[in-house]
Amino acid sequence: MLSVTANNGHLHVKFELPAGMHALFGASGAGKTSLFRLIAGLDRDDTARVLWSETPIHQLPPHRRPIALAPQRPHLVPHRTVREQVKWIASGRDSDALVRWARALSVEWFWSRHPSRISGGELQRASLLRALAADRPVLLLDEPLSQVDRPLRHLIMATLKELLPSDLILFTTHDWEETEAFAEQVVWITDGRSRPPASPVGLLPDSPPTARLMGYIGSIAAHPGHWLIHPRLIRPGSFPDEGPVIAGQLTAARLSPTLHQYRFESDAVWLQWTGPPAPRAAGSAVTLIRPPRAEFSLVPATPPQG
Amino acid sequence: MMRWVTHTVGGLAAVILLVPVVILGFQTGPHALLATWNEQTSRHAMAVTLQSGLVALAIVGLLGIPTGVALNGVRHRAWRWLWGTALLIPLLMPPLVLGLVLAFVLGPATPMGQWFHTANTFTGLVLAQVYESLPYFVMAYWGYLQALPVARQEEAAVLGKSPWQIFWYVVWPTSRPGLAMAAAMSWARIVGAFGAPIVVAYHPSGLPVAIWIRLEEAGLPAALALAAWLLLIALPIPVLLGGGVLDAQRYRE
């Protein structure tokens, strides 16, 4: 169990997480990195309380905390090869497991290179391997694979979730799909304020900013009364038994290769929005799952004039 | 255009800087150098400068490296500013004034002077050289350390490495170019130290004081010949250290 509380000028956080793989979800600048630095002990703050297995660790210097951190922009030592640095961190611990991880992260083929000779994505993978080599109970991953291409990133995340090399893995992300796919619990952080951890599965947005962050499209501010709609909430066919749903017709018009204009019409609502091409929008008979909060009130079924 | 300006100005600066060296070269032929070498007092002064200089350089390094590392660890801007300014004050003192002030501590009538025989001894000379050169070493080394990314040390710390381990694996190797630069600068100050030694340790005379004596007793040509020797024996260390500075770019990324 990792328990974190802090109350300073920038961060107002309080949460407890059990063992497992969890996400710290928030927009850029929400305070994710600051919070990680606080947990790892790189930044000191008198209000911070960090407990691991009910033992306070916030008084300890970074190297004595049971925590390893892989940052978003790693700084490896320039005069040593990747292999030398990983071995230095491992200092003789289980090398078989490390070799397996090196293979899983595809680090093997640039093992013997210096950091200046590898790409940004490779550097991140090397840094992640180094963090795994530290072999600590808590692993903090600060968007550790943001420069790694999506398929490999998801493969690595899935491997981490399956093998769980540390008792607790907490990764930061602003990708809701990743959060849903790999996190057991998610801690939302908005403007430095945390919300209690919750399971990300089926979690729906409760305000326009969170909706936008979760990948919903459209804008309430620009068009009062309109819905924000996630492409995944639009399903072909009708599902009358699935709760608050609305059946209607969806049409899509291509504005550019990356932008489509969508129009949803039913007896009750009329909606129009632009967004990235959504494969599921192809069907004409679709269902909208209705978000639970009042902000997402429906507009009368009369298209605007003109 | 930029290139043209920097190259022209840089070339001009190099010429200006090398003028005294060229004059010294023209004014002292091989004969004068050999004649100076054959004098017992000259060889003695060279030996004194080399011996005291190497001891002083070692002391400067032993004091300067931990000081630079400690200063680099100071997080508060106000404290960094305070220490940076404090280190500049000794540099503002003309070396002669530094010597006059040091006489109050190292002079024959002081406790230090009586117990450690710091006045007019090898020890006194070394101490005077250390005083003149230590600020240069610390400022150069600290400046270099500050240009290195602190994230490297932080990342090693959050992966379980102690400050000592981080120093030996991360800081020490990557700061070697800065160390070379600092050592070269302080060496130049050490072998050229004149103002403080002439007050605190007139004997044993190192080369700067010996050159002064020679100028007074035998005139300019004889003094210049000895000065050429100073340049010759001081040169190998900066030349060797210069190679270390070449790697600086690599360690800063």
Predicted confidence (pLDDT) at residue A257 exceeds the cutoff of 70? yes
Predicted confidence (pLDDT) at residue A284 exceeds the cutoff of 60? no
Q: Which residues of A touch B159 (CB under 8 A)?
A: 68-69, 89, 130-131, 133-134
pLDDT grade for B114, boundaries at 50, 70 and 90:
confident
Residues facing A229 on adjacent strands: A217
Q: What pLDDT is attached to residue B252?
A: 66
Q: Which residue among B154, B158, B173 sits closest to A79, beta carbon to beta carbon?
A: B173
Nearest CA of chain B to the CA of A227: how many Å? Answer: 44
pLDDT in tens, B220-253: 988 999 999 999 999 998 888 877 777 776 776 5
| Interface confidence (ipTM) of the complex | 0.78
Task: Identify the sign of the CA torsion B154, B155, B160, B164.
Answer: negative
What is the C-alpha to C-alpha distance for residues A209 and A27, in angstroms, rounded to an integer? 10
Residue ranges, comma separated, of all CATH 3.40.50.300 domains in chain A are 2-194
Predicted confidence (pLDDT) at residue A58 exceeds the cutoff of 80? yes
Mean per-residue pLDDT, A218-222: 37
Between A243 and A92, where is the model more confident?
A92
Predicted confidence (pLDDT) at residue A186 exceeds the cutoff of 90? yes
Instruction: Please give the CATH superfamily to which domain A2-194 belongs.
Output: P-loop containing nucleotide triphosphate hydrolases (3.40.50.300)
3-state secondary structure chain B: CHHHHHHHHHHHHHHHHHHHHHHHHHHCCHHHHHHHHCCHHHHHHHHHHHHHHHHHHHHHHHHHHHHHHHHHCCCCHHHHHHHHHHHHHHHHCCHHHHHHHHHHHHCCCCHHHHHHCCCCCHHHHHHHHHHHHHHHHHHHHHHHHHHCCCHHHHHHHCCCCCHHHHHHHHHHHHCHHHHHHHHHHHHHHHHHCCHHHHHHCCCCCCHHHHHHHHHHHHCHHHHHHHHHHHHHHHCHHHHHHHHHHCCHHHHHC
B87 within 8 A of B139, measured Cβ to Cβ: yes
Instruction: Please give the CATH superfamily to which domain B31-252 belongs.
Output: MetI-like (1.10.3720.10)
pLDDT in tens, B135-155: 999 999 999 999 999 999 999
Q: What pLDDT is attached to residue A244?
A: 47
Nearest CA of chain A to the CA of B172: how many Å? Answer: 11
Q: Which of these ranges, A4-13, A52-61, A242-251, A292-301, has the smallest mean pLDDT?
A: A292-301
Mean per-residue pLDDT, B149-167: 94
Q: What percent of chain A has pLDDT over 90?
A: 46
Q: What pLDDT is attached to residue A77?
A: 92
Q: Considering only CA atoms, which of B124, B137, B133 is closest in space to residue B197? A: B124
- Residue listed under structure tokens 């600048």: A29
A172 within 8 A of A143, measured Cβ to Cβ: yes
Q: So where are chain B's domains?
A: 31-252
Residues facing A142 on adjacent strands: A172
Q: Which residues of B touch A82 (CB under 8 A)?
A: none
Nearest CA of chain A to the CA of B151: how many Å? Answer: 6
